[in-house]
Amino acid sequence: MFFSRQKTNQCGLHAIQNVLKTAKVTETDIHNACQDIKDKTGDIISNHESFGGNWSVHAVLQTLVGHGYTVEPGVSSKQEREWTGTPISELLQDETFRGMIIHQPTNRHFTCLRPEKEGDDTRLYYVDSQSDGPRRISPKLASRRCLAGAYSWEPFIIRGPEMERIELPEEISLKVCEERPSKRTKRPAEEFMQAWYALKRNSPEPSTSTIYKQQEEPQKSANPLVVSGVVSHEDDDT
């Protein structure tokens, strides 16, 4: 199942990719949409795009419109929140229904809802790029979260043709990186080890007389009075 996982910001881009189930749409497309907004309205680009990868609702939706999709608000909130779009149960029977972009203004985040074929049935899935993957959700619960003030999901219904499926580039496995040998435990080169063993075998062993001489010699004292001859070794208690 297609899933675009968020690594930095860019939740608007990941929501588009997840709702269309393709990586064909890129951040360049959203930037071009921001430029299009500026050309048509005179509104400056910085109102719709940041250097960190945050985009306005207008920029995200304009990107979809620029790719030939229609966008319909699902909820009206003029007085109290009510569902004004096509009911989700009917959308799931519509072959042109691609899903819904969900804007969550309270935490400035974009997610999506999308249909998935399961045998003869079509199920609804909620996809958050910050989660572990798509999660199945009932149409009733999805509608309730769009209407509840605690969630205040702002849904935008997307219709249009199925876009060409382009998979995301594979991620580097963390397991592979963890299995790389550490430099601290790396064994020296074989040539070095052979030379070291040869040197060790050729080193002369100390003679018996040398060992006895070392044992018979009295240990030198660190006491300066003994060194100068004021106190003898026998009187030194240090």
Span 177-220, pLDDT tens digits: 444 455 555 667 777 777 777 777 776 655 555 555 555 555 55
Mean of all residue pLDDT scores within the chain: 83
Q: How does pLDDT run across 143-165, given as a tens digit for each residue?
A: 999 999 888 899 999 999 999 99
Q: What radius of gyration do the chain's Cα atoms show?
A: 37
Q: Are residues 70 and 162 in the same domain?
A: yes
Q: Does the global pTM surpass 0.75?
A: no
Query: pLDDT tens across 62-80, in order?
Result: 999 999 999 999 999 877 8
In order, the DSSP letters of 19-59 are: HHT-S-S-HHHHHHHHHHHHHHH---GGGTB-TTS-B-HHH
Residue percentage of the chain with pLDDT more than 90: 55
Using CA atoms, how far apart are residues 222 and 153, in angstroms rounded to an integer?
A: 83
63 and 123 within one domain: yes
Are 51 and 132 within one domain?
yes
- Determine the pLDDT at residue 209: 58
Q: Could you tell me if 144 and 80 lie in one domain?
A: yes
| CATH value at residue 150 | 3.90.70.40
Whether 177 is in a domain gets the answer: no
Question: At residue 176, does pLDDT exceed 70?
Answer: no
Using 50, 70 and 90 to split pLDDT, how confident is the model at 51? Answer: confident
Q: What is the structure's pLDDT at 42?
A: 92
Is residue 92 domain-shared with residue 207, that is, in the same domain?
Answer: no
Q: Is position 1 within any domain?
A: no
Establish if 41 belongs to a structural domain. yes
pLDDT at 179: 43
pLDDT band at 230 (very low <50, low <70, confident <90, very high): low
Question: How many domains would you assign to the chain?
Answer: 2
| Residues 37 and 153 grouped into a single domain | yes
More confident residue, 214 or 2: 2
Asked whether residue 81 falls in the same domain as residue 164, the answer is: yes
Strand-strand pairing, 154-159 and 109-118: unpaired
Could you tell me if 98 and 45 lie in one domain? yes
Are 233 and 227 contacting, i.e. CB atoms less than 8 angstroms apart? no
Q: In terms of domains, do 62 and 112 share one?
A: yes
Residues β-bridged to residue 159? 70, 97
216 within domain boundaries: yes
Which pLDDT does position 177 carry in this prediction? 40
Give exposure, 197-217, as e/b (b: 16+ Cβ within 10 Å): eeeeeeeeeeeeeeeeeeeee
Residue 154 shares a structural domain with residue 194: no
pLDDT band of 173, cuts 50, 70, 90: very low
Is 182 part of any domain?
no
**Does 157 fall in a domain?**
yes
Asked if 94 and 206 sit in the same domain, the reply is no
d(CA 13, CA 25) in angstroms, rounded, equals: 8
Give a yes or no: residue 86 inside a domain. yes
Sign of the alpha-carbon torsion through 186, 190, 191, 197: positive
Report the distance separating Cα 85 and Cα 72, nearest Å. Answer: 7
Residue 237 within any structural domain of the chain: no
Q: Do 137 and 26 share a structural domain?
A: yes
Domain span including residue 213: 187-227
Indicate the burial class of 218 (C-beta count within 10 angstroms; 0-12, 13-18, 19 or more).
exposed
